[in-house]
Structure 1
Amino acid sequence: MDSDSDFYGDEETISRLKARVDDFNAETWWKSHNDVTSHAFREDFEKQPGKGHLHNKFEGRIGAWQLNESIDSFLARLPPATTNRTPGFDWIWVANPFIPGESSGAVAAFKQGGEERLRMLSKFIAMSNASGKTPFVAKRGISKEREETVQDLRDLAIACNVLSGKWMLFPEPGNVNEVWGKVARATANNELGTAAKVETRVESEKERLICIYTRDFRDKGDIARVLNRMRELEFVRPSGKQIYYKCDAWTEIGIYGGNEWDIPASMYSSNEVFLYIKDNFVLRRM
């Protein structure tokens, strides 16, 4: 563990840390820590069964829809309103059967590099606040470093192929079966994203989280397409309460709302993406 003198260092220590932070390069870090390359990911994907076949990446999982059962049977078997959480059974899942199982990416490598980058940011924040600089100057420096950290984390997620993300819904307990039923049917019919999940019950009065996944957080067109279908299903509307899209990379390294680094937990809001749809005439191509 670093000593207090390392953590609250003098100007020389701060300069040394700043140089270390500046030298952090996501792509270089990834290449130096792993033998797996993007070619390997591409080769793995190409081995997946061809189009025209149905796929289920949750095959055999008792808490997931199976290809040999109807959606009606699945929803009757695992209604989220009354399906209690047990150890290892936190979620009910449905996969889009028209999308081949994608590579999961190098999640462990991303977590290692991402957590190291966040530790650098934590030290930078602490030393900036203890440096004797005016609050305005310290805050400005921290803001700049935070922006650079977010970019480094995005670059690292891309290098490690940790690209999936999800729109999040929070239906009330009395509505969760209805909302989940629509989500499950639309996912199974290839109308939404790659998969979806809903929380099992812990508290009868607690809102339930439903996640609707997309393959790539960089693909704003696809994210917009999924949001528009969600609008058609009446989960969200442009003039209503916002919902949010979060990349899985952030979840893997513990970036949630109110985090210590003040990094936004979500990547997009529904209002932002609705504006994107309007400005780019995405609806005309849907």
Structure 2
Amino acid sequence: MDSDSDFYGDEETVSALEARVASFDVHNPYETCPSARQLTESIPAFLARLPPATTDWRPGLDWIWIANPFHPPARAPLLAQFRKGGAERLALFAQFEKMTTTAAGGRGGGGAAKAQRDVAAERREAVADLKALAGACHVVTGKWMLFPEPGQVNEVWGKVARATAEGGLGTVAKVETRIESGKARLVCVYTRDFRDKEDVARVLGRMRELELVRPEGRQIYYKSDAWTELGIYGGNEWGIGASMYSSNEIFGYIKMLASGSHDMLRES
């Protein structure tokens, strides 16, 4: 190696890389939000200004935010249309379930078992319809959820914030402010599209590298914002799973990707 410049590349390579960096349209969707990191603010300064372990909740400060400045702005979601259409589809499913189970009550033999199968099939169809509606209305973001204890929240949030700001994690991240001492905090790491399983897996893989999650450790879960908008939480009345993915499922997906089982994965 003749000089330091050899390590970084020749002049043509360096110029090309500098041009790529200059072409990035960095932006901050939370430019006017005091509870978010600003582009003029260093990560150490941001973490020192709003440490989640000791930043108390108050009106307008329920979350601390940081955005990936290299991620292009997303299309505005059509929330009103999605909520209306989603509520109508859920109501249709609830009506079908009620009619099917009521009719089965008057039959003997295997009537109840058949009703359960019919309801399960209709539920799967309703979920597929809701996902399609979410895509049409651009309500496609989702998030991996972490629940660090108060003593670990600053460390966990620091890793998430740095990786997000560097463009290597998700699109946005947020952490709860302190409401009561001793309560675990929610940290959300967002991806751009819950339908993009490879990107969901990439973000989880990066979280593993940051030692935020382990394949053999406690599972974490990924939830779509579409389900949040429709009030689909754990134990909901429609029997729809509140989470889109678990870390165990996606770690298995990553393993199969690494083994080259691409065709089988795309069919799943």
- Relative to the length of structure 2, the TM-score reads 0.84
8 Å CA contact 1:171–1:208 kept in 2: the answer is yes
Superposition deviation, residue 128 in structure 1:
2.2
**1:58 is the counterpart of 2:35:** no
Partner of 2:264: none
What is the aligned length? 234
Q: Which amino acid aligns with 2:225?
A: D
Partner of 1:137: 114
Superposition deviation, residue 194 in structure 1:
0.4
Q: Which amino acid aligns with 1:274?
A: F
How far apart, CA to CA, are the structure 2 residues paired with 1:214 and 1:250? 15
Give the unaligned 5+ runs of structure 1: 1-49
**1:116 is the counterpart of 2:114:** no
Partner of 1:211: 188
8 Å CA contact 1:56–1:101 kept in 2: the answer is no
How far apart, CA to CA, are the structure 2 residues paired with 1:96 and 1:282? 31
- Report the CA distance shift for 1:88/1:118 in structure 2 as closer, same or farther (over 3 A): farther
1:164 to 114, 118, 141: 141
Partner of 1:151: 128
**Where do 4+ consecutive residues of structure 1 move more than 4 Å?**
none
How far apart, CA to CA, are the structure 1 residues paired with 2:91 and 2:189? 30
Q: What is the alpha-carbon root mean square deviation over aligned residues? A: 1.6
Give the unaligned 5+ runs of structure 2: 1-21, 261-268
Q: Which amino acid aligns with 1:166?
A: K
- Relative to the length of structure 1, the TM-score reads 0.78
8 Å CA contact 1:246–1:266 kept in 2: the answer is yes
State the identity %: 62
Q: Which amino acid aligns with 1:198?
A: V
**1:272 is the counterpart of 2:244:** no
- SS class of match (2:80): helix
2:164 to 178, 183, 187: 187
Correspondences of 1:66-77 after superposition (within 5 Å): 66-77=38-49
Q: Which amino acid aligns with 2:44?
A: D
8 Å CA contact 1:167–1:212 kept in 2: the answer is yes
- SS class of match (2:190): strand
Q: Which amino acid aligns with 1:204?
A: S
Question: C-alpha deviations, 1:171-215, integer Å up to 9, x for none?
Answer: 111111110011001100111010100111112111111110110
Q: Which amino acid aligns with 2:80?
A: A
Partner of 2:13: none
How far apart, CA to CA, are the structure 2 residues paired with 1:243 and 1:227? 10
- SS class of match (1:130): helix
Question: C-alpha deviations, 1:135-157, integer Å up to 9, x for none?
Answer: 32221121111111000001101
How far apart, CA to CA, are the structure 2 residues paired with 1:124 and 1:82? 49
How far apart, CA to CA, are the structure 2 residues paired with 1:104 and 1:243? 28
Correspondences of 1:23-34 after superposition (within 5 Å): none
- SS class of match (1:56): coil
How far apart, CA to CA, are the structure 2 residues paired with 1:51 and 1:101? 15
8 Å CA contact 1:186–1:192 kept in 2: the answer is yes
Structure label with greater radius of gyration: 2
- SS class of match (2:175): strand
- SS class of match (1:281): helix
How far apart, CA to CA, are the structure 2 residues paired with 1:282 and 1:92? 39
Q: Which amino acid aligns with 1:232?
A: E
1:202 to 151, 176, 179: 179
8 Å CA contact 1:221–1:282 kept in 2: the answer is no
